[in-house]
Each structure stands twice: as C-alpha cells, then as structure tokens.
Amino acid sequence: MPPAAHTPPQNMAFTPQGAPLRRRTAPGSASRLSASFSLNPADSDMSLSDMSINLMSPSKGRAAFLSEQGHMGMAQVSPRIRSPLTRAGPSRPPPGSEPRPTTRSRSRFAGDETTEADEDEEDEDDRWGMIDSMRVWRNDAIIHHLYETAMFWGDKILSWTGDSTDAFWVAQAYFLTGHYLQAERLLTDPRPPPRQRGDKGKAKAPEDDDDQGLLRRLIDDHLACRSLAAQCLIAQEKYHEALELIGESNPFREVGATSRPGTDGVKLHSAMCHTRGILHLRLSSLERAKECFIEALIIDVKNYDAFRELVEGQMMSATEEWEFINNLAYRQQLANEEADFVRFMYISKLRKDAHVSEIAAARKQLVETYQLDDNCDVLVGLAEELFARYKWEDCYVVTSKILARMPGHPGALPLHLACMHHIPRLHSSLFMLAHDLVQQEPQAASTWYAVGLWYFSGKRWTEARRFFSKANLIDSRFAPAWITFAHAFAWEGEHDQAITAYSTAARLFPGSHLTLLSIGQEHLQLSQSALAEEYFRAAAAIHSSDPLLLNELGVAAYNRDDFSAAIDFFERAIAGAGEMQGSAAEWAATHCNLGHALRVQRRYTEARAAYAACIRLDPTNSTAYASQAMLSQLEGDVRTAIRLYHSALSLSPQDPVATILLEMALLEQVEAHDPTTLPGLPAAIARTDLDPFSVPKGNAAFGPLPVEADPATLDEAGESVDLSLSAGSTIGTLAGGGASTSRARGYSISTTANASYRTQRYPDTTFNESSAMDIEED
C-alpha cells in the first residue's frame, strides 16, 4: 500500500501517519522512531511488555506472534538495530537492514522505510554507535524497572541529540516513576535546540529549525508525546488542561477507521480516544465519555480498556451493549481466528441478564476451542452468570477458585464479596477477608467495599455507608459501592436519601437498569406509585426482560387497578425467572403477587394455585397463608379460612390485616354457625334437635365412647320425664308420698331396661360407675 494513501496531506502536529518531513531528515533509527511514534507509539507499553516476554523466552513457539509483534513494536521504538544485541530472537534481521525482511508483516511501513533506507546508510557513523548503545541501555533499564538508570542515560542522550524520541523515553521514565510534573515539563516546555556535539545536529531535522524556529514543543510534533503529556496531566488531576491538550474530540475521525486486519498492535488513536473518554468521565460528562470509548473501540477492537469502561462501567444499556459489541468490526481489523476469539471473549464478559444462552455459548467456545477453561476472566464470566441466577453458593465456589489463583482479581473480588454477604455462614470469612484486604491493599476501592459490606451484613448501616463512600472516594467508577451505599439507606428505611443515592448511581452508570429499578422501588415504598412506574418504565427501556423489574411493574399496575396488566407482568416475571434457571425460591413473592391480582379478578382457582406455589417456595410467607384464607372466606369456607389465618398469624403475629380478617371470619362463623354445626362432631351429637336423653352414645370407629361420667345419670334424669308425665296423667290427685314410691319403682324398672339395652349394644363393655362418680376434675 503506498504511503500516500493514508498520509494526510500536511500537518506536523497531528499526523496520524507521521511527518514525512522529519522522516526524511531524521537519520536511521530516529526516523523510524518518529514514524512509529506518529503512527502508533502507544505500542510502547504493549511492546515493552511483549518485549519482556520475548526476552525471557526467545524461542518459544507459542509466543511466536507475540514476539513478532513485540519485535515489531520494539524495533520501531528502540534503536537497537545498531546494537550488537540481537536478543529478539533468531528471526531478528541483522542490524541496519532490519526493516526490510519484515516488510511483509509490516507492509504498512515498508514503503516508508525502503524509501528511507538509503538515508540511513548515508548518515551512519561511529558516534551513532555510542548513542545507540546508550539507547539500548536506556530501554533495557526501563524494562528492568531501573528507572533512575534510564533517566540518567536517557538524559545524557537527550542532551546530545535533542531528539524527540529520546525526549519521549525520558518523559516515559519520569512518568513511570511518578514524576509527572517533570515529564509534563519536558514534553510541554518549548525545547531549546540541542547542544550539538559535533555533527550530531544533523540528527535534528534541519527543516524544523528552518521552518519553526528554535522553540518548538514536543507535543506539537508528536502524538505519542501529546498523549503522554495528557496522561501526566491526568495524574496531576489537571483535567481541563489535559482535555485542552488532547482535544475535545477525535480530530482523525475520518481517517481513523482505515486499517487492515491482523497487521498491527493497538492503535494510538484508539488509546487517545480512551484517554479522552477518561477525561470526560473525570469531568462528569458521561455522554461524551461514552462516545469517546465507543470511538476508541471502533478504531481498534482490541482496546480492552475502552471495552471495560463501557461494559463494566455500565455506560450502555444491555441491548445497546449487545448490539454494539456484536457488530464491532472484528473481521475488518483482525484475522479470522483472532476476530472470533476477541468477539467470544467480549461476549463472555457482557452483562448476564439477557442473552444468557448466547453468552454461555461464547464461553463454551472459549473453553473448548481456545482451551481457556482455567482462565480467570472466563471463569469470572461463569461466576457472573451464576450470580445473576442468584446461585450464591455455586458462584462462591467459582470466585474462590479464581481468587486462589489470582488474589484480588478485579472482576471476581466484588462477586466474591457479594456472595459472602448472601451466605450467612460466610460472614466471619467476610470479616477476615476484609481485614486482610485492608492490610494488603488499603488503596483499593474493593477493599473498603469489603469492609462496608461486612458492616452491611451486620445491619450497621451508618458504618457501612462510611466505608462505601470511602471506596467511592478512591474509585468513583466502582459501581458496587455506589449501589450498596444506596441500599444501606434503603434498608434502613431512609427512602428519600436512598432515592438521592440511587439517582447519583444512576447518573454515573446510565446503562444500569438496577439503579432506576431501585429508585422506583423506593418510590413504591413511599406510596408514590405513579412516580415509581415512570422509573420502572425507564428501567424497562434498558432491560425489559428482568423478572424483578417485571414484578415491580406488575405491582405498579396493580396499584393503579390495572389487574390484567399486573397479571401479565407477574406471569412474565415468573416465566423469566424460570428461564434464568436460578433458585426459584427467590420468586415466592411474585407468585404471591400474582395470586393477589388473580384474586381481585375473581379467578380464585388460579389464585389459589399461585398462593400454593408461593408457600411451596417459601413456607414462611405469612401473606400467602392469609391470602389463601381470604380466598376460603370469599368462597364461604369460613372454617378453613380461620385455620389459615391462624397459620398466617403464627408466622407474623403482629400482622394487622390478618388479625382484622380473622376477627371478621370469627364473627361470621359465630353468626352463621351454632355449636352443633362443627365438623368432627359425631352425627348424633350434631343434630340440631338433639335430645340428650336419647342419644346412642359412641363412635363406631373406635367402639364405644370413652366413659368418664356416669351414663346412668342421664338415663335417670331422662326417665323422670316420662315418669312425671305418667304420674301426672294416671295418678291424678294422689298424695305426694304415693307418687314418690311409684316413681322409685318406676325408676328401678326403667334402669334395668336401659342397662339391658346397653348390654345389647356394647356386649364387651363394662362400666365402672362408682369410680367415675368420685372423680373431681380440677
């Protein structure tokens, strides 16, 4: 590809392809350096690390493409071509001719370099040899974290050459050691012309001197320097200045997308977009930050930093995210296999509340095709999925595995902590872990999140909030701490404050429907159903299939008396929960809600089934019992209703509704029933026209009735009726004495008659009358 194709016509300051002018003038390595800088010197990070791999295992086949890349990046930045050290492996071309054999892999530069090769040869002399080897010292020192060394020798080189590349490396060393101001100064101060030692001045582009005069800033010439300067400013929290430096938006937008698959590392433009996004984030303009990250990812799909900000920072809604990540230009930018791999990797890290099966399939691919079954990031994907299904125990197992391999894994740790919060038996371990984290990583947001969570588990809301806000001070983009901070208010019953806190979280994480959902829930708690529903709708716009959200929508619909809509929502929620294959017990309340809606619609049978489902899932749900009781009462089965109200009240004795309903039911029962209509009474005793003197006593199931009292008593009393009647009718005006004697006689006869009757009926029963007579119950 001819260089002209992607070389902007002019511009020294923001040339994506590098300054052809300088390239022409700069000799040898310097020219190649500047080219690489202007093209994509952000490689420097990448290539450094790659280089170190390369150094340690120069001939490992597996790292072949890595070494290729590292080699390439390093070759671009380092002046090693001159050095006798050919550590980069056997494939490394001989010094001087370095670019040429690799032209196939770096066709993009090939044109440039071949044109410059002649010049390289011309300007070669022995002093270059010394500077070049010092450059090697410098770069090796950086690799080996000997920053002082790097700065020391780099400074000397810079003094000699005044070259922008050398300045860049010194600034890099400053940056890495945290001397941000120095780095910034070096990059932004107008540089005096280099002290020329001999004809070293030739190293500087004569055109620069001629055209721009002596005072030129590095950042004006080199994009990489500009980027580094911006990083320095960010590190010093001078965000506005940084943004000024780097520009509010990408000036290379129209050319940024041009690239070919599989040829290069991570693009500087993409990195700069990412930096810009970070700046916008810091300056709280989230929309622009999001645009920047999106742009960064479009320019280079490999830019995981941008991906992470977008996805883990929940800047996009679930659907938006899904669409965007799926439609990135993998194929255009990467080779086939790489494209697939990157795509699967990204998909596996997407939010787990929709497209669960696709995500699981992507993870399966990663495990099976790419043998990444032990990779922490892939495992985090699994853990997230389990967490989204409320499978705390399983998730905990996975996160424990990840953390054992990689302590403090940023993806796994918050999940791990959340699981520990959800499993009561692990609360002590949570305490221990928080303790350890405070000792090991007092500067990490997740550490203080862990501490806050420990207090949260113990329902000590104030302390919990203190530590959550500490976590947020450390990292304002740490979503879990924001949400739990708000949760702490909500749990404490401080609904207004909770709403404020959730709103903050919602502003910071616009892609999260959970915050909106929570705001809605708080409004519901405050009986502002209409307002709540608006929030639920907003949440539904982000993620409409969340069962929890559907449940809340159902509640809102129920509150405005739209019961059929409510039923619809609840049913969808339950169906959605079923698809999640998570623990079904979490959805007991939804079943109960469904029951309520059905009950209001007079669909009693279905309502009963819904309540039964609720009780099956959660046997401690008193509302479900009370509602079942209501159904029974509505259907006229007061006795069952009373029994069920009792079940409800035994679970929550203070429930005012159930108490009132029970009293109503009891009253109804007393009105409607008399003591004879009890279930369980023997038929004989339940007769309304019962004559106690003619009841054949006994329960057929068990034989004769238990005799506690003297049964003859009744018979005796019963007999007297007939007797007195007969006395009245027959004896007439007889004197009292005669009547009493005849009564006595009549009595004795009738008793025997009755006794024989008894013996006929219960042949094997013998009554112990006398003993029963004596008993006095307390």
Partner 1 sequence: MPSPSPAAKVQMAHDLRSTIRELKDRGLLVAAKWANELLLALPKEHRTAPYLPFSPPQHQVGLSTPPRAPRPSVAASEFMPSPPRFDMEVFPTNAEAGPSRARTRHGIELEEEDDVLDEDEFQLAKSYFDIHELDRVVHTLKNARGSRARFLKYYAAFLSADRKAQESLHHFLDTKQERLALFPALSTILADIGDDTEPYLMYLRGMVHMRLEQRDEAIACFVRSIRDRPYNWSCWSQLAQLVDSADKFIELKEQLPSSPMLTFFAIAVMLDLHTATDLVMTMISELQETFPNSVHLKAQKALVYYHMRDFQTAEKEFDEVQAADPFRMEEVDIYSNMLYVMDKRAKLGKLAHEYAEIDRNRPEVCCLIGNYYSSRADHTKAITYFRRALMFNREYLTAWTLMGHEFVELKNSHAAIEAYRKAIDINAKDYRAWYGLGQAYEILDMPMYAIEYYNQATSLRPYDCRMWTALATVYEGLGRLSDAIAAHTRALLGADRQQTPQILTKLANLHTTLDASRGRASAEGTGYHRKLLALGAKDGREVEELAASYIAVAEWEMRAGSASGDWALAATYLEKVAQSNALQRDKAEELIRELRMREARA
Residue 713 CB, shortest distance to partner 1, in Å, is 5
* Binding letters toward partner 1, positions 524-563, x by CB under 8 A: ----------------------------------------
Q: What is the 3-state secondary structure (H, E, C) of 523-550?
A: HHHCCCHHHHHHHHHHHHHHCCCCHHHH
> Interface with partner 1 by CB under 8 A: which range of 94-102, 456-464, 534-542, 662-670?
662-670
User: For partner 1, which residue of 130, 721, 749, 753 counts as binding (CB under 8 A)?
Assistant: 721
- For residue 537, count CB atoms less than 10 angstroms from its CB and return exposed for 0-12, middle for 13-18, buried for 19 or more: middle
* Phi and psi torsions of 703, nearest 5°: 80, -150
- Asked if 720 interacts with partner 1 (CB under 8 A), we say yes
Residue 741 CB, shortest distance to partner 1, in Å, is 11
- Restricting to residues 734-763, name those near partner 1 by CB under 8 A: 734-736, 739-740, 743-744, 747
Residue 263 CB, shortest distance to partner 1, in Å, is 55
User: For partner 1, which residue of 538, 565, 666, 755 counts as binding (CB under 8 A)?
Assistant: 666
User: For partner 1, which residue of 257, 356, 526, 707 counts as binding (CB under 8 A)?
Assistant: 707
Task: Output 235 or 755, the one with its CB closest to partner 1.
Answer: 755
> Interface with partner 1 by CB under 8 A: which range of 68-76, 216-224, 355-363, 673-681?
673-681
Residue 599 CB, shortest distance to partner 1, in Å, is 23
- For residue 62, count CB atoms less than 10 angstroms from its CB and return exposed for 0-12, middle for 13-18, buried for 19 or more: exposed
How many whole angstroms separate alpha carbon 609 and alpha carbon 296?
53
* Phi and psi torsions of 214, nearest 5°: -85, -35
DSSP 180-196: HHHHHHHHHSPBPPP--
Residue with tokens 């371990």: 429
- Asked if 254 interacts with partner 1 (CB under 8 A), we say no
- Asked if 730 interacts with partner 1 (CB under 8 A), we say no
- Per DSSP, helices labelled H in 581-619 are 588-600, 604-617
758: its two tokens: 């008894």
How many whole angstroms separate alpha carbon 360 and alpha carbon 354?
11
Say if CB 88 and CB 54 are below 8 A apart: yes
User: For partner 1, which residue of 9, 90, 732, 763 counts as binding (CB under 8 A)?
Assistant: 732
> Interface with partner 1 by CB under 8 A: which range of 412-420, 432-440, 450-458, 695-703?
695-703
Residue 723 CB, shortest distance to partner 1, in Å, is 6
96: its two tokens: 């001087």
Say if CB 428 and CB 421 are below 8 A apart: no
Residue 689 CB, shortest distance to partner 1, in Å, is 10
> Interface with partner 1 by CB under 8 A: which range of 120-128, 151-159, 533-541, 682-690?
682-690
Say if CB 518 and CB 482 are below 8 A apart: no
Residue with tokens 């540089």: 191
- Asked if 11 interacts with partner 1 (CB under 8 A), we say no
User: For partner 1, which residue of 49, 718, 754, 755 counts as binding (CB under 8 A)?
Assistant: 718
- Asked if 681 interacts with partner 1 (CB under 8 A), we say yes
> Interface with partner 1 by CB under 8 A: which range of 174-182, 455-463, 507-515, 728-736?
728-736
Residue 692 CB, shortest distance to partner 1, in Å, is 4
- Asked if 728 interacts with partner 1 (CB under 8 A), we say yes
- Restricting to residues 392-451, name those near partner 1 by CB under 8 A: none
Residue 729 CB, shortest distance to partner 1, in Å, is 9
Residue 637 CB, shortest distance to partner 1, in Å, is 15
Task: Output 327 or 688, the one with its CB closest to partner 1.
Answer: 688
How many whole angstroms separate alpha carbon 259 and alpha carbon 256?
8
DSSP 314-378: T-S-HHHHHHHHHTS-HHHHS-HHHHHHHHHHHHHTS-TTS-HHHHHHHHHHHHHHH--TT-HHH
- Asked if 667 interacts with partner 1 (CB under 8 A), we say yes
Task: Output 21 or 651, the one with its CB closest to partner 1.
Answer: 651
- Restricting to residues 575-634, name those near partner 1 by CB under 8 A: 619-620, 622
- Asked if 669 interacts with partner 1 (CB under 8 A), we say yes
Residue 620 CB, shortest distance to partner 1, in Å, is 5
604 Cα distance to chain centroid: 38
Total number of residues shown for the chain: 778
Residue 718 CB, shortest distance to partner 1, in Å, is 7
How many whole angstroms separate alpha carbon 255 and alpha carbon 390?
46
User: For partner 1, which residue of 475, 716, 754, 755 counts as binding (CB under 8 A)?
Assistant: 716
- For residue 686, count CB atoms less than 10 angstroms from its CB and return exposed for 0-12, middle for 13-18, buried for 19 or more: middle
User: For partner 1, which residue of 206, 496, 663, 756 counts as binding (CB under 8 A)?
Assistant: 663
